[in-house]
Amino acid sequence: MTSWRIRPASRADTQAIVALEAEAFGGASWGAKAVADGLVERNVRVIVASTDDAVTPVGFAFWRNAGDEAEILSIGVARRMQRRGCARALLGEIISAARGSGVRSLFLEVDVANAAAAILYQSLGFEKVGRRKRYYRNGGDALVMRLIL
């Protein structure tokens, strides 16, 4: 099992996050400008994960706090580090921070084709609450999931 170090992202992490996001999402990537803009957006929080023995991030998450609700905007992990608990560690950090900020409901969308992610979210207590038809650029539907905190 890998030990994860989760920390707030800094501007110095921009290029690493851009590369990770492109690797994680390929043609569905937000693109470098949108990732960089997300790092400085007022209500968006960005965290990164690295192994204890590394400085360079291998995972990231963007989330937005909107009072008593919050939304996970994007989460990605380097392919070589997937299925080692990185996404779970990032999600755990978001859930903890959201609870500490008074958030009562945490939302996310996940591609219906991404069964592994949906299973992970369900294992953390997220429930399916809706479906967005043709939500993604490729025409794929998104499941809307919610965790009551």
* Burial (Cβ within 10 Å: 0-12, 13-18, ≥19) of residue 133: exposed
Question: What distance in Å separates the CA atoms of residue 72 and residue 74, rounded to the nearest whole number?
Answer: 6
- Interior/surface letters 78-102, b for 16+ CB within 10 angstroms, e for the rest: beebeebbbbebbbebbbebbeeee
Which residues are catalytic, by number? 109, 121
Q: List strand residue ranges (DSSP E) for 52-136, in order.
A: 59-66, 69-77, 105-111, 127-132
Q: Determine the residue type at 66.
A: A
